[in-house]
C-alpha cells in the first residue's frame, strides 16, 4: 500500500505519514476468537463486541489533574512500590476481551523497531502508574478501560514498565492516536508471533500460560 497521512496530527500539530500502512482485515475476524482482527485509524468497527459498544469516549480528561482521577483506576488493588532500578517508570495494560483475545497496538512506522506491542508509556511527573496506563492506552488505542489486576514490573532497555490487566469500558479503536497505525485483537496463543520485543515476548508467554 502507498504511504498515507495519519488522520490525527502529532503533539506539534504536524501531519504524520504512515509509510507502510496496514491492510484492513476481514470483518468476519471481528467475531472469531481464533482470528486476529485488524482496526485502522478512522476505519470500520463493529457496533459492539461482547455487549460493549464501540463508541467514542466523550469525557476524556484534558489535563494531568483530571487524568489522575480518571474512571477506571483501582484504588483497592494491592500492588508493591515500583523499584525502577535506575530506569524510567512506565506502565501498560493487558486488555482482555471475553473471548480471550488481547488488544495490541502497532506503532506508527514501527517506532524504535517495534512492530506490535501492548499499550504502554512513560509516567508523567505526578501521575500514578495506574493513571499512566489508562492514559497511554487511550492515546494509543482509543479505548477507555478499567484496571482489574496487577501483573508485575518488566524491565526494558530504558524503562521499567508495570503491567496491569484491564477490561474495556468504552471507546473505539478507530480513534487511535497518531502513535498507532493499527490496533489488533489477538488470540493469546498467537501473541508471541505478533509482538517482537523481548519484554513483550515474555509477557506473551506469561499471558498464554
105-144 confidence digits (pLDDT tens): 999 999 888 999 999 999 998 899 999 999 999 999 999 9
Do 128 and 61 form a contact (C-beta atoms < 8 A)? no
- What predicted TM-score, i.e. pTM, was given to this entire model? 0.95
Residue 1's pLDDT is what?
76
Average pLDDT, the chain: 96
Do 26 and 10 form a contact (C-beta atoms < 8 A)? no
Residues of the chain with pLDDT > 70, as a percent, come to: 100
CA dist., res. 188 & res. 127, Å (int): 30
59-118 confidence digits (pLDDT tens): 999 999 999 999 999 999 999 999 999 999 999 999 999 999 999 999 999 988 899 999
Say which residues have a Cβ less than 8 Å from residue 29's Cβ, sequence separation at least 6.
35, 36, 37, 38
Residue 32 has pLDDT above 80, yes or no: yes
34-45 confidence digits (pLDDT tens): 999 999 999 999
* Closest residue by Cα to residue 72 from 160, 165, 177, 175: 165
Do 50 and 43 form a contact (C-beta atoms < 8 A)? no
* Cβ count near 28 (within 10 Å): 9
H-state helical runs in 46-187: 64-67, 129-141
Q: What CATH class is the domain 34-55+63-73+86-208?
A: alpha beta
Domain boundaries, the chain: 34-55+63-73+86-208
* Cβ count near 190 (within 10 Å): 18
CA dist., res. 42 & res. 126, Å (int): 32
What does the angle CA 100 – CA 48 – CA 96 come to, to the nearest 5 degrees?
20
Q: Which residues of 139-150 are buried (b: 16+ CB within 10 A; e: fewer)?
A: bbbbbbbbbbeb
Amino acid at each position: 500500500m502507498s504511504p498515507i497521512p495519519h488522520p490525527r496530527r502529532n503533539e506539534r500539530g504536524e501531519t504524520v505519514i504512515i509509510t507502510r500502512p496496514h491492510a484492513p482485515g476481514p470483518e468476519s475476524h471481528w467475531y472469531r476468537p481464533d482470528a486476529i482482527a485488524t482496526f485502522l485509524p478512522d476505519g470500520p468497527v463493529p457496533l459492539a463486541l461482547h455487549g460493549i459498544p464501540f463508541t467514542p469516549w466523550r469525557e476524556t480528561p484534558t489535563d494531568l489533574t483530571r487524568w489522575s482521577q480518571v474512571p477506571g483506576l483501582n484504588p483497592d488493588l494491592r500492588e508493591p512500590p515500583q523499584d525502577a532500578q535506575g530506569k524510567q517508570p512506565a506502565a501498560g495494560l493487558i486488555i482482555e476481551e471475553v473471548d480471550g483475545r488481547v488488544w495490541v497496538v502497532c506503532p506508527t512506522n514501527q517506532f524504535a523497531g517495534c512492530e506490535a506491542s501492548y499499550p504502554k508509556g512513560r509516567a508523567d511527573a505526578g501521575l500514578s502508574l495506574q493513571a499512566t496506563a489508562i492514559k497511554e492506552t487511550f492515546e494509543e488505542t482509543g479505548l477507555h478501560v478499567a484496571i482489574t489486576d496487577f501483573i508485575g514490573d518488566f524491565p526494558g532497555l530504558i524503562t521499567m514498565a508495570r503491567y496491569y490487566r484491564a477490561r474495556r469500558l468504552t471507546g473505539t479503536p478507530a480513534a487511535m492516536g497518531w502513535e498507532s497505525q493499527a490496533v489488533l485483537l489477538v488470540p493469546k496463543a498467537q501473541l508471541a508471533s505478533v509482538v517482537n520485543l523481548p519484554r513483550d515476548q515474555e509477557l506473551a508467554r506469561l499471558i498464554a500460560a
